[in-house]
A and B are shown apart, each in its own frame.
Chain A
Amino acid sequence: KQEVTQIPAALSVPEGENLVLNCSFTDSAIYNLQWFRQDPGKGLTSLLLIQSSQREQTSGRLNASLDKSSGRSTLYIAASQPGDSATYLCAVSSQGGKLIFGQGTELSVKP
């Protein structure tokens, strides 16, 4: 059974810092891994999608890496801003179209 774990559960940083969010999964037989952002009480916004054959994806200040063999992904946020404050969710897609989520990292960026 696939399990996804995100560390840390919560993170508070001053504005301008570079930061790394971690995601690990137990079954390396995945199709892809997706990072989402969720603002309080809102739906999920897709940030980055990494296919199982890829090592990383970049979008603006965000960079996500994938090491499928070790079951790990990281989301790197450069020059953090208060507007980046949200919960960040990692999810892996496995056979049957199931998308399994971690519990998320709640990020707070202080001005």
Chain B
Amino acid sequence: ETGVTQTPRHLVMGMTNKKSLKCEQHLGHNAMYWYKQSAKKPLELMFVYSLEERVENNSVPSRFSPECPNSSHLFLHLHTLQPEDSALYLCASSQVQGARGYTFGSGTRLTVV
């Protein structure tokens, strides 16, 4: 375990479903991130939360909705997804600005059918 825990590890959902991904860290970090990893593509930064404020939204479709209720928890709410949204979703945390590096969770493998 890296100190960043993601649940569930695997998720299969239909295009009309609503589901949520959860990320939790107890490393004392104050910034959290969602990344998407599709096959044969570099990791894509989706959202950045710093001190519980969203500071980055990389043109992500509104069917992805992040939530950061406190510095230890991060959610990604999913609704009306498309098959092309199937990917590995990775959560990461760091100190603000990443000065001491980033710690990643094991990811949620999402399949949209």
> Could you tell me the dominant secondary structure of chain A's interface residues?
strand
Chain A residue with the shortest CB-CB distance to B33: A99
A91 to B102 Cα, complex, angstroms:
10
**Chain B residues with a Cβ closer than 8 Å to the other chain, count:** 30
Q: Name A35-63 residues within 8 Å CB distance of B.
A: 36, 41-46, 49, 51
Interface residue B21 (Cβ < 8 Å from any Cβ of A)? no
A-B contact count (CB 8 A): 73
With beta carbons under 8 angstroms apart, the residue of A4, A32, A91 that contacts B99 is A32
CB distance from B58 to the nearest CB of A (A): 9
A100 to B42 Cα, complex, angstroms:
9
Kindly supply a per-residue 1/0 record for chain A positions 5-32, scoring 1 wherever the CB is within 8 Å of any chain B CB and 0 otherwise. 0000000000000000000000000011
Interface residue B14 (Cβ < 8 Å from any Cβ of A)? no
CB distance from A55 to the nearest CB of B (A): 17
| Pair B98/A104 contact, Cβ less than 8 Å | no
Would A43 and B104 be within 8 Å (CB), given that A31-B97, A32-B99, A101-B43 are in contact?
A: yes
Interface residue B106 (Cβ < 8 Å from any Cβ of A)? yes
Residues in B whose Cβ lies below 8 Å from that of A98 = 45, 48, 56
A31 to B95 Cα, complex, angstroms:
12
A22 to B55 Cα, complex, angstroms:
31
Residues in A whose Cβ lies below 8 Å from that of B96 = 97
| Pair B97/A89 contact, Cβ less than 8 Å | no
| Pair B98/A42 contact, Cβ less than 8 Å | no
Q: Can you report 28 residue pairs joining A to B where beta carbons are below 8 Å apart?
A: A31-B98, A31-B99, A32-B98, A41-B88, A42-B106, A42-B107, A43-B2, A43-B106, A43-B107, A46-B103, A89-B43, A91-B43, A91-B102, A93-B102, A96-B48, A96-B97, A97-B33, A97-B48, A97-B50, A97-B55, A97-B56, A97-B97, A97-B98, A99-B102, A102-B42, A103-B40, A103-B42, A104-B42
